[in-house]
Structure 1
Amino acid sequence: MKSAHLLAVALVAPLSAQDFSKMKTDQVFQQLCSGCHGQDLSGGQGGSLIDGEWKHGSSDEELMKSIKEGNEQLGMTPFKTVLDDRQIRSLVIFIREKEKQAKERGIEFPKPELGKVTKTQHEDYKIEMVVEKGLRTPWAIAFLPDGRKLVTEKQGRLRIIGADGKLVEEPVKGIPTIIDHGQGGLMEVAVHPDYEKNGWIYLGFADGTRDGGVKTITAYVRGRIKDGQWTDQEWIWKADQKFYSGVGVHFGTRLIFDKGYIYFPVGERGGWHEAQDVENAKGKIYRLHDDGRVPEDNPKFEGKTPVPGLWSYGHRNPQGLDIDPRDGSIYSTEHGPRGGDELNLIQPGHNYGWPVITYGMNYDGTPISGKTHEEGMDQPVIYWQPSIAACGLSFYRGDKFPKWKNDLFAGALAQQEIRRLRIVDKKVTEQEVILKNIGRVRDVTEAPDGYIYVLLNDPDRVIRLIPAE
C-alpha cells in the first residue's frame, strides 16, 4: 500500500533555482517525482503510482492537494511554490494516464474476426463485411427505406451502397463544393425521418474557399438525390463569413432529428475561447427547425445576441450525437485535449466549460487549465483518460440484441474501439469495450434492420455486427 502523499523529490539543486514553467509534464515528473517513484512510475522509495493501491485517498482532488501541499511527516516536499495549478493538474493527468495504461496491459479486449463469435458481457456477435474495398476515408453512414445506404467520404464524395450490398462505382453528382482541409471535408449524412414523403437528405461538411488561402467552417445543407444527382439543395445553416478560419482542426459535425427539430454541432476550429462567446459561431451545438428556421423558444442570453440557432456552448470538437429513446435526453461525445474526451448531457443554454475547465492537457504535455469545475459550467457525464478520440455515437433501439436495448455505443479513433455504455438515471452504470483493434472507428450506428453498422478507417471498410446465433 502507498499514500497519495508519497510524491517525494530527489533534487540535485534547490527547487527555487529551477524553472519548471517551460517544461512539459513528463519532464516535470522526471525532475520532481521519478527519484522516488521511478521513471516508469512503478515505484521505489515512494511506492508505485500505477498499481491502483492508494492508502490515503486516490481522488484527483486528493492527489492535487498532496502535490501542492506536500506532507512533512512523509518527507513529501510541497510544490506549490514552483508549480502553478495548471502544472499540478497536468501532473495528475499524466499519472492517471500511466495508471490506466498499466491496468490495460493485462486485459484481453474483444478483437473480432470474420466468421468467429465475439463474446461480450451481455451479447455475443459476429461481424459481417459490408464493403471491404472501394471507399476512401468513410466518415458517416445513413440508411434509405429501400435498403440502400449513403456513405460520405471525407475527401468530398457521397457514395451509395445498393440494396444488393454492392458499392456503386460513381459517386452522387452535384453535391456542394467540399473543402478537404485538415480534419474537415465531407462529414455527416443524415436521412429525414419522413424521407418517404419528402426525400430530404442532410449533409454536414467543411464549407469555404481556397481563394487567397483556405477559409472554412462547418456548414449544413439538405437536398434530394434523383438518378444519382444531388438536386433541390437548400442551405440549413451557414456561418457569417467573419467566423471562417484557415486552421485545419475541430470541425465537429453530426446531425440528429427530434420532433421536427434538428440538432448539430460546430467545432471551435482551434479558437479555444471563442467557444465561450455566445455571439461567436464556433464551439456550439445548435437547434433549428428541420427547414433551417430558428425556433422562438431557443435559449436567450441577457445582454447578448446569440448566434442564430444556438442551443449550448463551451464545446471543443463534438463528433458524436444521439437522443436517448427512453426520455428524449440528448448526449454528445466530444474530442477533448489529451486526457479530456467527454460524454455530455446536452441541455439548452448550458455552458460545457471549454477551455476554462477541462480534464485534459495539451497533446505535447503542456498545461491548459488548473480547473475541472467552475460555477455555471456543466460537468461531463464521464470523461476518458487516456483519451479515446471519441467519434460516432448511437443508442441501440433494435431487437436483434435484446440485452443491449437502450445502451449507448461510442466509437473511438485513437483507441480503435467501440465502448458500450449503460445509462441509468443519466449516469453511466456500465462501460465495456466490445470491439478493439480492427481499425479506427469513425462511425457506429444502429440500422433499421437492427444490426449495428461500423465505419472503419485504416483500413477503410464498412462492417456490421450481427447476433452470434
Structure 2
Amino acid sequence: MSNAFRLTLTCGLFVSASLAQAQAPQPSRRDVADTYASLCANCHGPKLQGALGPNLVDDTWKSGADDESIARSIREGQLAAGMPAFSGSLSPQDIRALVIYIREQGEERRSQATPFAKPAADKAVRSELHAFKLETVTEGLDTPWSVAFLPDGRMLVTEKAGRLRVVEKGRLLPEPIAGTPDVWSKGQGGLLDVAVHPDSAKNGWIYLSYSDPGANDSAMTAIVRGKLREGRFVEQQTLFRAPAELYRTAGVHFGSRFVFDGKGHLFFSIGERGHKEDAQDLSRPNGKVHRIHEDGRIPKDNPFAGREGAVASIWSYGNRNPQGLARHPVTGELWETEHGPRGGDELNRIEPGRNYGWPVITYGMNYDGTPMTDRTAQEGMQQPVVHWTPSIAVSAADFYTGSRFPQWKNDLFVGALAQQEVRRLRIEGGKVVQQEVLFKDVGRVRDVVSGPDGYLYIAFNDPDRIARLVPAPAVKPASGKAQGAAKP
C-alpha cells in the first residue's frame, strides 16, 4: 500500500511484488499490524515514517485526508504513482482496519509531539478561555465511579465495589451508607451511577444504578431509588430490573448514567453487556438508552411502548456502552458519550426511537487489531455527531452551568479513561464547533460533574480521588506565551 492520496514518489521495486500478492485473496481476519508489515512497510517504513514512499503520519495529504479517500487509494491504487490496487488481496474490512491503523499511528505521533497541560493545586495552567488549578477535594476512595450533590452541599460518591460514600466539607466520612443493594462487582460491574432528584430537598429521593447479580454468575444493570436516613439507604424501590432470563454473564458494558429531563422523566443507559447483537434487539434492554417516569412507570409516549415483544422503556437502541448522558441546559437535547471498540468512541445526540448503529456500523475495529466491518454508515442508522478514532476511552460528560468560568458556560465537558484527559466541546446548532483538551495524564477520568458551587468536579481512578477545577490567575511561561491546553 502506498499513500496514493498524496504520493509523488514511485515505489517501483515494491509494485511488482505487491501485484503478485494481489492475485490471490488473503484472509480477512488478520491483525492490521501484520497486514501493514507485509504489504505496506517496505514502501512506507515500519513506523509509517516513509521510505520509498512518503510519510503517512505527518498530516500532509494531496488527494484527500478523509477516510474514504484513503480507503479508495488502498482499494483502487494508482499505478502511475507506483501504488497497486489491493482490492483483490484485502477485504473491505481489512482496508477499513488499515485506515484506522493509519489514524492511530498519526494520532500517537501528534500526541508525542504535543505538550499537554498537567494542572495541580500549586500549578495553574491556561486553557484557551480560562486559567485554572486542579485541587484535590478528597482521597481515600476505592475506584470512585460517580459523584452527585445533596441539597445541603454534601457530596455522594459511589465506589465500584458497592459502597455509597459521603463527603462532608471535604472530609470523607469513614462509614459508607448502609442498606444499599448488593452488587456484582466483577470486571466492569459494580455500584455505578448516583443521582439526586432535582426536587430532593422536598422528596429526598436518591437514585442508584448497579450491576444486579443473577443466576449462574450473570448480571444486568438495575435501577433503584431510596432515601438517606441516619446513615442508611431506606424506602428502597426498584424502578428497573430485567427479567432473569435476560441477564448476561459477560463482565463488561453495564453503562450507566442518569439524566432527569425536568418533565418527570428519568433517562438511563445500559451497555450491550459484551453481546453486540443485543444492541439491535428490541426484546432485550442492553445496548439501549431508556426512559421511565421518576417512579419507574413507563411513559405511554415512549417510542416502543405497546409494541409486542419490545422492552417498553427503550428510548434509543444500537448503543454499545453509553457511560455519559447529559441534557443541554438551553435546548434540552439529550447527549450521550459511548465507548466504541478499538476506535469509534462516539458523541451522539439521542432522539426517540433512533437506531445508533452498533454493531452494524462503527468507526472502530476489534481490540486484537482484526477488522470488524467496513461499514461506517447505513440508511436508517444515526451518525455520531463526533467520533474519536483512535479511541480515547470516553467516559462521563456534563454541561457546565456555573458562573466561576463564565466563558465555559453551556459547554460540554467529556472525560476519558485510557487517554486520561478532559475535553471541552462547544456545541452550536447540534454540531461540535470546537474541541479542546484541557489537561492530560493526571489520572483516569471516570466522572465529570458541574457542581452547584460553580466548580467542575472530576472523579479520578489511578490514583483514586475527587478533585475540582478552580479559577486561577492567567499563567505566562518564560517565553511570554500563555501556557495552554492542546487542541485535539
Normalising by the residue count of structure 1, what TM-score does the alignment of the two structures yield?
0.96
For the residues of structure 1 that align with 2:306 and 2:94, how far apart are their CA atoms?
A: 35
Hey, what does 2:476 align to over in structure 1? none
Please give the secondary structure, in 1, of the residue aligned with 2:458: strand
**1:280 and 2:284 matched:** yes
- Matching of residue 217 in structure 1 with residue 220 in structure 2: yes
Partners of 1:335 and 1:343 in 2: CA distance: 9
Amino acid at match of 1:157: R
Task: Count matched residues.
Answer: 465
Distance 2:306 2:248 in 1: 28
| Corresponding residue to 2:251 among 245, 248, 252 | 248
Partner of 2:410: 406
Which structure 1 residue ranges, 4+ long, deviate > 6 Å from structure 2?
none
1:5 and 1:66 in contact (8 A); partners too: no
- State the AA in 1 paired with 2:465: R
2:150 corresponds to which of 144, 150, 153: 144
Structure 1 position 192 matched with structure 2 position 197: yes
Q: Write out aligned runs for 1:254-273 (5 A).
A: 254-258=257-261, 259-273=263-277
Q: Is the counterpart of residue 47 in structure 1 residue 54 in structure 2?
A: yes
SS in 1 for 2:292: strand
Q: 1:437 is matched with which residue?
A: 441
Residue 465 of structure 1 aligns with an amino acid whose one-letter code is L
Alpha-carbon shift at residue 17 of structure 1 (Å): 5.2
2:162 to 156, 160, 173: 156
Could you say if the C-alpha distance between residues 36 and 188 of structure 1 is closer, same or farther in structure 2, counting changes exceeding 3 Å? same
User: Residues of 1 paired with 2:101 and 2:6: CA distance?
Assistant: 16
Residue 303 of structure 1, CA deviation: 6.7
Q: Does 1:295 align with 2:299?
A: yes
Query: What corresponds to 2:129 in structure 1?
Result: 122
Residue 103 (structure 1) aligned to one of 103, 107, 110? 110
How far has the Cα of 1:20 moved from its partner? 3.5
- Deviations 1:294-340, CA, capped at 9 Å, x for gaps: 10111038975321210000000000110111100110001000111
SS state at 2:113 partner: coil
- Distance in 1 (CA, whole Å) between partners of 2:207 and 2:307 is 33
In structure 2, runs of 5+ residues without a counterpart are 474-488
Q: Secondary structure at the match of 1:105?
A: helix
Does residue 182 in structure 1 map to residue 187 in structure 2? yes
Task: Percent identity, please.
Answer: 50
Taking the aligned partners of 2:162 and 2:73, their CA distance within structure 1 comes to 51
2:314 partner letter: L
* Alignment check: 8 A CA contact 1:5 1:70 kept: no
d(CA) in 2 for partners of 1:53 and 1:160? 52
Deviations for 1:327-355, whole angstroms, at most 9, x for unmatched residues?
00110001000111000000000000001
Shifted more, 397-406 versus 78-87: the winner is 78-87
1:205 aligns with 2:206: no
Indicate if the aligned counterparts of 1:407 and 1:421 stay in contact, CA closer than 8 A.
Answer: yes
Find the aligned partners of 2:52 and 2:62 in 1 and give their Cα distance.
15
Provide Cα deviations, 1:79-134, integer angstroms capped at 9, x if missing partner: 111111111101100001111221222211111122221110001111211112x2
Name the structure 1 match of 2:71: 64
Secondary structure of residue in 1 paired with 2:97: helix
Distance 2:30 2:271 in 1: 29
In structure 1, which of residues 238, 242, 257 is the aligned counterpart of residue 241 of structure 2? Answer: 238
Partner of 1:377: 381
> Aligned to 2:211, what secondary structure does the other structure show?
strand
> Which residue in 2 is equivalent to 1:362?
366
Which of the numbers 61, 83, 88 marks the counterpart of 1:76? 83
Are residues 382 and 323 of structure 1, via their aligned partners in 2, closer, same or farther at CA, if it must alter by over 3 Å? Answer: same
Q: Which moved more, 1:75-84 or 1:444-453?
A: 75-84
- Pairwise CA distance, 1:73: 1.4
**Contact conserved, 2:137 with 2:466, CA < 8 A, in 1?**
yes
CA distance in 1, matches of 2:259, 2:60: 43
Distance 2:209 2:398 in 1: 18
Displacement of 1:27: 0.4
Measure, in 1, the Cα distance between the counterparts of 2:442 and 2:285: 36
Deviation at 1:75, TM superposition (A): 2.2
**Does the C-alpha gap of structure 1 residues 131 and 301 become closer, same or farther in structure 2, counting only changes over 3 Å?**
closer
Give the TM-score taking structure 2 as reference length.
Answer: 0.92
Q: SS of 2:37's equivalent?
A: helix
Q: CA–CA distance in 2 between the matches of 1:445 and 1:3?
A: 45
2:484 equivalent in structure 1: none
Deviation at 1:439, TM superposition (A): 0.4
Rounded Cα–Cα distance in structure 2 between residues aligned with 1:3 and 1:457: 43
CA drift at 1:463? 0.4
Shift of 1:22: 3.7
What root-mean-square deviation, in Å, do the aligned CA atoms of Structure 1 and Structure 2 show?
Answer: 1.7
> How many angstroms apart in 2 are the aligned matches of 1:411 and 1:397?
17
